[in-house]
Amino acid sequence: MLRDIQDEIIRLKKEKGIYILAHSYMREEICEIADFTGDSYALSVKAKSAEEDTIIMCGVRFMAETCKILSPQKKVILSHPMAGCPMAEQMSPEYILEKKKEYLGYAVVSYVNTTAALKAISDVCVTSSSAVKICRAMPEKNILFIPDTNLGTYVKEHVPEKNVALLNGGCPIHAAMTEKDVLDAKTAHPDALFLVHPECRPEVTKHADYIGSTAGIMKYAEESDKKEFIIGTENTIAEHLQIMCPGKKFYVLSKDMVCRNMKLTTLTDVYNCVLGRGGEEIEIDEDTRRAALKSIEKMIEYGG
C-alpha cells in the first residue's frame, strides 16, 4: 500500500513538473520518493538550481521559506502547515535589533534555522555544515551569532581569531541531551564511535569521535572502517544509516531525540501536496524577501 502511494507520487510529480526536496530528518518512505534529500545547506543550494516551477519542501517552515526567498517565481509548498522549528521562532527581529545596538559594529550571523524576518536583518546566514567556514571567511572580526548557543560555541572554538558573541537559544531536541545520555550509550555500546551534531551541548560534544552536520555524520559513518556508531542527532538518521549500511550497526543516543515537527509530515501529506490539496503555499512579502536573500546569497558565496 505504501509502495502504491509512492508510485502515484512519483507519477504525479513528473506529470506536473514538481520537484520534491526532503530534509534527511524526514521518514524513510518520504526520502525514497524525494528528488533530493540532504541537510539544510544542501537543500538551500538545490532549491536554487531546481528547474521545476513547483517545489514541495518536506521539512519545516524555515526550509520552505528559504526556497521561496531563493526562487520567488516558483510555487513553494511546505509539506505540513504546522511543521515549524521552535529554534527559528526563539528570537524576534525586534529583540535582535535591540541587541544590535548593544553589539555595535558586530556582524549578525544567523543560523539558517530562523524566520525570513530575522534573516532580513542579518548580515549572513550559516548552516551547521558551513558555519565554521563562513565565519572564518567573512571579513568582519566581531560576530553576533544567533540563535543557537551550542553551534555558536562550536564556531567560537574553531574560529578563535574572531570575537564571537552569543545569545541564549538553541534546538530543544539536541540541547536536551545530557552527558549522562552519552555515558549510558557508551556503556551499552563500548565499541561504537560517537557521532554528534554541533547543536548539542559542549558536555555532550566533548565525548564525540566526530562532530558535524547531518550530512557530515552520514558521510563519516558511511566511509568509516568501524562497524558500530552511536548517532547523536535526530533518530531517523540512525534508521537511514542502518538501511544504507546493512553491515554496520547504528544506535540512537536517546529515545527522546525525535523532532516532532520533522515527524509531522506523512507520506499521505506529500501525496495530498502533489495532488494540490495539501501543505501550505509559502508567501513572503517582497521587502523581507529581498533583504533575506542577501544573507542567504552570502551564505552560498562564502560556503562554496
Least distance (Å) from ligand 13P to the CB of residue 268? Answer: 23
Cell of 60: 519545516
Q: Which stretch binds ligand SF4 (CB under 6 A): 7-15, 43-51, 93-101, 168-176?
A: 168-176
Footprint (CB under 6 A) of ligand SF4, residues 102-131: 113
Single-letter residue type at 191 = D
Please say which residue, 113 or 114, places its beta carbon nearer to ligand 13P.
113
Least distance (Å) from ligand SF4 to the CB of residue 289? Answer: 21
Single-letter residue type at 70 = L
Please say which residue, 106 or 234, places its beta carbon nearer to ligand SF4.
234
The Cα 123–Cα 296 span in angstroms is 9
The Cα 261–Cα 265 span in angstroms is 8
The Cα 51–Cα 157 span in angstroms is 39
Least distance (Å) from ligand 13P to the CB of residue 128? Answer: 4
Footprint (CB under 6 A) of ligand 13P, residues 127-186: 127-129, 171
Residue 86 interacting entry, from ligand SF4, ligand 13P, none, C-beta within 5 to 8 Å by type: ligand SF4
Footprint (CB under 6 A) of ligand SF4, residues 209-248: 234
Tell whether residue 173 is a contact of ligand SF4 (CB under 6 A): yes
Residues facing 97 on adjacent strands: none
Count Cβ atoms within 10 A of the Cβ of residue 168 and give its class: 0-12 exposed, 13-18 middle, 19 or more buried: exposed
Single-letter residue type at 257 = M
CB 111 within 8 A of CB 147: yes
Contacts with 173 (C-beta within 8 Å, 6 or more apart), sequence order? 199, 234, 256, 257, 258, 259
Cell of 74: 516558483
Site string for ligand 13P, 27-66 (x = CB under 6 A): ------------xxx-------------------------
Least distance (Å) from ligand SF4 to the CB of residue 111? Answer: 8
Cell of 206: 566533548
Footprint (CB under 6 A) of ligand SF4, residues 29-88: 60, 85-87
Crossing angle of the two packed helices 214-223 and 40-49, in degrees rounded to 10: 110
Least distance (Å) from ligand SF4 to the CB of residue 16? Answer: 28
Count Cβ atoms within 10 A of the Cβ of residue 73 and give its class: 0-12 exposed, 13-18 middle, 19 or more buried: exposed
Of 44, 54, 128, 261, the residue at the interface with ligand SF4 (CB under 6 A) is 261
Residue 214 interacting entry, from ligand 13P, ligand SF4, none, C-beta within 5 to 8 Å by type: ligand 13P
Contacts with 33 (C-beta within 8 Å, 6 or more apart), sequence order? 6, 9, 10, 13, 20, 267, 270
Please say which residue, 173 or 221, places its beta carbon nearer to ligand SF4.
173
Q: Binding residues for ligand 13P, per CB under 6 A?
A: 39-41, 85, 113, 127-129, 171, 199, 213-214
Q: Binding residues for ligand SF4, per CB under 6 A?
A: 60, 85-87, 113, 171-174, 234, 259, 261-262
